[in-house]
Amino acid sequence: MKIWQASNGELRRVLEGHVFDVNCCTFFPSGLVVLSGGMDAQLKIWSAEDASCVVTFKGHKGGILDTAIVDRGRNVVSGSRDGTARLWDCGRSACLGVLADCGSSINGVAVGAADNSINLGSPEQMPSEREVGTEAKMLLLAREDKKLQCLGLQSRQPVFLFIGSDAFNCCTFLSGFLLLAGTQDGNIYQLDVRSPGAPVQVIHRSGAPVLSLLSFRDGFIASQGDGSCFIVQQDLDYVTELTGADCDPVYKVATWEKQIYTCCRDGLVRRYQLSDL
């Protein structure tokens, strides 16, 4: 992994230690620490200041495909090709438990605060004191077997299970009850956790896989396997296209202030300035 100076593209740090592909990485809220997951079935925590790997989590039996940070980062969640989602304690570099065992690859995970009206269930046993910030949170799992699963993060109890048109690649929360999930055949499902039986709407712009979804202002950003990346505003009539990737897949989108960053299979990270929005 590489850490760049965003203002001028200068390479600041190289984080070396994973074997095989690195599938996901994200900064902790402090901005000084990085969480990564790779095909070597390892989660790693790195110092962005000196590029050292301070913690390695082992326990998954397949590559880690996505991660989520809980609250301020004392706990993190990982989803793996081995079909499990796990909760980890960063301070003791230990696994606090298997949150779900799906029997199918977990391609995307998201953690969100739940609206008060949603019943998250109660834990079957007393949570560890090392669990911090898991109460009143939902965990969303985008699964390879066409299922979108939601459960209480602390309770581990099911909230809903939704079956889509194809494998789910990614998911994100828009609010305490609204969420998005994208499938391999190009559908973006918007669901309401309070009545998840039927989607609020399904957006389909092309048959290319939906690879990344991100809540943004009063709408969201989506990227797809055909190189398209677009911003959908809340009224859903207004779409802003982010061009430049041509036809290579755009794997991931990130935002900071008025800037959007995309990473593409052509090896480029692109930065978009949104001064006009």
Q: What is the CATH number of the domain that holds 186?
A: 2.130.10.10
pTM for this prediction: 0.94
At position 216, the amino acid (one-letter code) is F
In a domain, 48, yes or no: yes
Per-residue pLDDT tens over the stretch 141-184: 999 999 999 999 999 999 999 999 999 999 999 999 999 999 99
Question: What residues make up the domain containing 18?
Answer: 2-204
In a domain, 129, yes or no: yes
Question: Domain for residue 40, yes or no?
Answer: yes
Taking the CB of residue 48, how many other CB atoms lie within 10 A of it?
A: 17
Per-residue pLDDT tens over the stretch 84-130: 999 999 999 999 999 999 999 999 999 999 999 999 999 999 999 99
Beta bridge partners of 42: 58
Average pLDDT value for the chain = 94
Query: Quick check: helix, strand or coil at residue 266?
Result: coil
Q: SS in 3 state form for 193-255?
A: CCCCCCCCEEEECCCCCEEEEEEECCEEEEEECCCCEEEECCCCCCEEECCCCCCCCEEEEEE
Residue 151 included in any domain: yes
Position 24 in a domain: yes
In a domain, 272, yes or no: no
- Could you tell me what percent of the chain has a pLDDT over 90? 89
191 found inside a domain: yes
Identify whether 54 is part of a domain.
yes
Residue pLDDT, tens place only, 206-246 = 999 999 999 998 899 999 999 999 999 876 667 899 998 88
**58: amino acid identity, one letter:** K
Q: How many domains does the chain have?
A: 1
* pLDDT at position 277: 52
Query: Cα-flanking dihedrals φ and ψ of residue 98, to 5°?
Result: -90, 115
Average pLDDT (66-95) is 96
